[in-house]
Amino acid sequence: MRSIGFGALNLDKIYMVDKIPREDEEGFVKDVNLFPGGSAANTIVGLSRLGVETAYIGKIGMDGEGKILAESFEEEGVGTEFIIRAEGRSGTAMIFVDESGNRAILVDPGVNDSIRYDEIDVDSARKYNLIHLTSFICKNGLDSLNSQKKIVEEFELVSFDPGMPYAERGLKDMEKIIRNTTVFLPSRQEIEMLFNKNYREAAEDCLSMGVEVVAVKLGSEGCWIKTAGKEAAVKPFKVRVVDTTGAGDAFNAGFLYGFLRGRDVEGCGRLGNLVASYCIQKFGAREGLPRKLE
């Protein structure tokens, strides 16, 4: 079982501030915490913790943020040989949280959007049987998205979580990836935005485009799964919710773990809900990701 991720790499910097300043105002930082992230990266870390051999295709700058992002993969046992180091800034998200819990976020995509196909050692990457894709913001160009559209042809197994950035780009732009997707992992809002119809009907369209398994994330209602022969709603685990950041990424890790181990789709859905339930009981996207299941 081997899986490689391909998506953005971001360092989330959470600033606890006395207030979120308006124009011409000044606020003060009380504390800063750093959280390595990126949606596909979180999923790959989840898979690595569960014992899957993993690596990641992504781009970082030659800065301190990039060093932290690469080191976090090394600590998690995720292969970094496909990480591209470039001139420029690593992706960051500056998240300002005031005393009442209000948030303001500034995202710097940095070098994330500039991954050219010729920068990826595709032949070596193909030793991983499954490639997992999530969205790039595409604020600084389409190179990374275009590389994803091309690389999906090279893999037998492709999983794809569009996230809102790709859902907003529309079906025409995403068609190439979806047609090459084995396991499609959207949230309800994302699949309905992409297909402009109810998620159940949209899932039918996905199957006719060649997708094998559609798993729609339904937040506090769990998930709903559709294949050519089966349809199943899988109830979530009842847990005390602390922070839902990364719930969808954790779900993907659990679902794909089950898929790679040959579980039936309901079993995969339960594992997705289970790993997500661990994630949301802790603060941050990676903290709660389990090291073994059951």
Ligand X SMILES: Nc1ncnc2c1ncn2[C@@H]1O[C@H](COP(=O)(O)OP(=O)(O)OP(=O)(O)O)[C@@H](O)[C@H]1O
The partner in contact with residue 104, picked from ligand X, Mg ion, none with C-beta cut-offs of 5 to 8 angstroms by kind, is none
The upper half-sphere exposure of residue 218, i.e. CA atoms within 13 Å in the direction of its Cβ, equals: 19
Please tell me what DSSP assigns to residue 187: B
Please report whether residue 272 would count as binding Mg ion according to CB under 5 A. Answer: no
Single residue of 49, 280, 286, 289 touching ligand X by CB under 6 A = 280
Minimum CB distance to ligand X smaller for 7 or for 236: 236
Is 138 within 8 Å of 144 (Cβ atoms)? yes
Query: In angstroms, rounded to a whole number, what is the distance separating the alpha carbons of residues 166 and 133?
Result: 11
Please report whether residue 247 would count as binding ligand X according to CB under 6 A. Answer: yes
List phi, psi (to 5°) of 113. -80, 0
Distances in Å between the Cα of 176 and the Cα atoms of 6, 85, 152, 180, 210 are: 16, 28, 9, 7, 11
Could you tell me which stretch among 24-32, 108-116, 175-183, 219-227 binds ligand X (CB under 6 A)? 219-227
Q: How many residues bind Mg ion (CB under 5 A)?
A: 2
Interhelix angle 39-49/247-260, rounded to 10 degrees, is 50
Shortest separation between residue 256's beta carbon and Mg ion, angstroms: 14
Q: How far is CA 248 from the centre of its chain?
A: 7
* Per-residue contact flags (x/-) with Mg ion for residues 136 to 175, judged by CB under 5 A: ----------------------------------------
Please report whether residue 273 would count as binding ligand X according to CB under 6 A. Answer: yes
Residue with the CB atom nearest ligand X in the bound state: 248
Query: In angstroms, rounded to a whole number, what is the distance separating the alpha carbons of residues 192 and 42?
Result: 24
Query: Which of 59, 60, 83 lies closest to 144 in space, CA to CA?
Result: 59
Single residue of 248, 258, 269, 272 touching Mg ion by CB under 5 A = 248
Query: Which of 185, 262, 232 lies closest to 5 in space, CA to CA?
Result: 185
Please report whether residue 244 would count as binding ligand X according to CB under 6 A. Answer: yes
Please report whether residue 36 would count as binding Mg ion according to CB under 5 A. Answer: no
The partner in contact with residue 79, picked from Mg ion, ligand X, none with C-beta cut-offs of 5 to 8 angstroms by kind, is none
Could you tell me which stretch among 48-56, 59-67, 84-92, 218-226 binds ligand X (CB under 6 A)? 218-226
What residues make contact with ligand X under the rule CB under 6 A?
A: 187, 217-220, 222-223, 236-237, 239, 241, 244, 246-249, 251, 272-273, 276-277, 280
Note the residues at the interface with Mg ion (CB under 5 A).
187, 248
